Structure 1
């Protein structure tokens, strides 16, 4: 005998049927799905991988760090230190507001390592729902993520957590206009920070990578070196090319169906 409870899969099936029958709106279906999936999501699934994170050295000056923050329009950044064996570790974080205040008070030459804040570090396997509660309770907005060996593997912001919960709805129209930009002959420009899951859903691909969760990170990992504009890789039925760089990060990726890519090279 089945009890009075139904499985998560069964419930989502009921919700999907209700949406198809117009009993509930598609937006309501997406919200319900996001809330349910949110409970099982771990930090690794939403973090920005280390290779895509802009950092500042603990030996940099306040002025140098502020220039980096303003260039990339970040409100917070991880501070790293490099030991004698070239092993990189996170020693703290800096807040852009703090840097501006210090610069204005004549302390632009101070070393970042002396003015940084303590870093909040969590493991990759931590539930996002737990992390979000901690971040809201302790009022910090940037979390450093560590792998199973304690090494720096990425960052997560409070905004990332919130977007995981409601972002699919809030960004529904933006996705079509900005994150995925249709081009001539079936090509699509994709922002580098778009998750592989979203790319697979939008374009019908099946991209997977052990280390990277975004399309920019995926392309970076497959290329296997510092990317250059125009670099590309051939996949099953399509080609991915580096369209735009932001420092070392791949900011924009061009998706080209293989038939079109071949025709353009003839």
Structure 2
């Protein structure tokens, strides 16, 4: 049942959780919140989240559930496709109060998932784990539940990949003193082409090593390579080169027109200011 679920988390969710943890109250050791996304065919894709204010005591937990529902309803007005799929908490462990919080989310959605994010950076890594709650007990007897781990993976949309690469450029010494600007379209195309060429060289080297029996074959890698080959259109080299050149010309034309329009708008703005003065 729920044990077959696979959770896919987008990077923006991790950023929001870390931001909520950094903005927590001084007396709060743990932060919790609601996970939003979609669930289809055993795959839960988490695309958004928000923090839920709460307080944990030795024998009880208090959460502002009315606030949580208000935020969810406001989010539904903007993203109607995002539903409640579970909840998140900072830390690397499931606490005694987790079952109480999970019970609330069980009423809000079917088979909610619980995701924990270790913001203490133990072992220099931000541990990301996912759980589902499996009921335990005997019929007509005392009932309980147990949090069972499930697979969690990171997934990205193409715009998110660009943002992550831009964030990665801020790493290193002196990054705090200098701003990092997004690259131009053509620079991004050049970087992507260079990265693709490097990856293709690695793939070719791996295939040559396997054929020469210098490396052990991997069935999973072979299936991925077969999928990749089938995804490439079956075109002659000259035809592919002409299509690629035509696409590049179209891109350059669009970039040139955009720059001309931008320059014209700036000149028009300056002329308007001069005439009004």
The structure richer in helix per residue is 2
Larger radius of gyration: 2
Q: Give the TM-score range, shorter chain.
A: under 0.3
User: What TM-score do the two structures reach when normalised by structure 2?
Assistant: 0.23
